[in-house]
Structure 1
């Protein structure tokens, strides 16, 4: 009977084409992973990998074996994770990806309460402006908008992802406040270039009545980071189209003004993404429940709506 360590070492090495990368994912040494795979090959009596100094690739037998056990291995891991915490506390490293501004402003304040409830969980939170691959990169969860929902993942909606036009009072001094998106054309725009497509982001705005109009904001300044857009707006350099959660506090303090206040762009939803397993690890289930309950109790979905932000 093969050990779980041998099977995990094989699957991760096959996924990443490297004993070193598999070792990093499994918190083992490359030598330990190589030894586990060699033991598996010896026990099975077949060679699973072609090895060279540059590349690690599956043999035909290795690919057949990988396809046969991959899904079953995930179920085994989930079952073991569930049993390990039965009658006890959820435990282990919780690796989560989130956008820097949103994460530090709205999620990090939830961490003390979460850790007080689950002290045996060790957070490993990555603040990054990209869409991660949860399975390949070993994340337990991700929070953001617009992730591709690949097989085996589910998305739990937390709040709307609405985008609004903002500017500093100093910039708008002496200028007419636009009542609708057409008025943005006369102002300087702080525009973001998409990290994924390389294109300038352009928005179509809508109001509560369902009317839609393009936001013709000139590209006077171009950046590639949402926080940089907000900071440039705070410096009085022009108008920025930003997500409501990123500017709720600066709007409240009066450091930024909302322009075309009845209009917003809909970028979809802010969602919590995690693997859809029959037995979700206890640490991930605890995190999903905590975030979901916190958003509901603090009514964050309402605060982040373009219909109510001011």
Structure 2
């Protein structure tokens, strides 16, 4: 029977293509990881990796073995974590990735009540404008929109990700209000350059009846961060296309108003992402359930729906 250490060393080395990186993730030395993998190969009677001074790649047998055990290994690790908790309260470091604006506005305020309920959980939250690799980077969960569902990751929808046009009352004072998305071309646009593609993001808006019209904002102010776009709109520089959750407080206070209010763009969904394990660690399951319940109690899915005008 193979030891868990041998199997973990193999899977981590396969994930990262490096004994050194696997060792860092497992808190071992590279020599120990290499020795564990060599022992596994000897016991199985097959070579699992092609080794060179520059690269570590799976053999055909190694790829097949990895596919066969990766899901089971996750379940075993989760079961060990659960057993270590003794069936008691969830414990351990909770590593979560969150979009900065959405995370600080809507998830961070939930933290005091969460840690009051689960005192054994220690949050390690990363606020970042990027898609993390949940499994390879060791995250318990991520909250955001537009993640690619890589193998072994599942998503649970929390709310719609609707994009709306907003501006300050001061900017719109004395200007002709747009009747629809096409009229946005007459106003100063605050637009975003995608960090991933390097291109300016333009949207097609829709209404409740399903009609779709491009929203051709002029590229007057170009930023790469939604928080900077929101601040620019508040400063009266022009019109920005932003997610409802990022501006909902400003809309409710009157600091920003919707432009072409019947229209919105659909950017998919805001979801919580996590590894698709049969047995999730208690800390992760508690966090997922807490966030889902909080969204329901606060009716955030309805509040974030740009389709409601």
Counterpart secondary structure, 1:288:
helix
In the alignment, is the contact (CA less than 8 A) between 1:262 and 1:307 conserved in 2?
yes
What is the alpha-carbon distance in structure 2 between the residues aligned to residue 17 and residue 197 of structure 1?
26
CA distance in 1, matches of 2:44, 2:250: 62
- Cα root mean square deviation, aligned: 2.3
Structure 2: stretches of 5+ with no match in the other structure: none
Matches within 5 A, 1:1-310: 1-41=1-41, 48-59=48-59, 62-63=62-63, 65-308=65-308
TM-score (structure 2 length as normaliser)? 0.90
Three-state SS of the structure 2 residue aligned to 1:279 is coil
Residues 206 and 58 from structure 1, CA distance in 2 versus in 1: closer, same or farther, beyond 3 angstroms? closer
Q: Distance in 2 between matches of 1:71 and 1:55?
A: 25
Unaligned runs of 5+ in 1: none
Structure 1 residue 44 displacement after superposition:
5.2
Decide whether the 8 Å contact of 2:167 with 2:256 is kept in 1: yes
CA–CA distance in structure 2, aligned partners of residues 111 and 72 of structure 1? 32
**Counterparts in 2 of 1:29 and 1:90: CA distance versus 1, 3 Å:** farther
Distance, in Å, in 2 between the alignment partners of 1:122 and 1:32 is 29
CA shift in 2, pair 1:248/1:28, >3 Å = farther
| Cα distance in structure 2, aligned partners of 1:57 and 1:211 | 50
Q: Distance in 1 between matches of 2:61 and 2:306?
A: 55
CA distance in 1, matches of 2:69, 2:13: 14
C-alpha distance in 2, partners of 1:203/1:296?
29
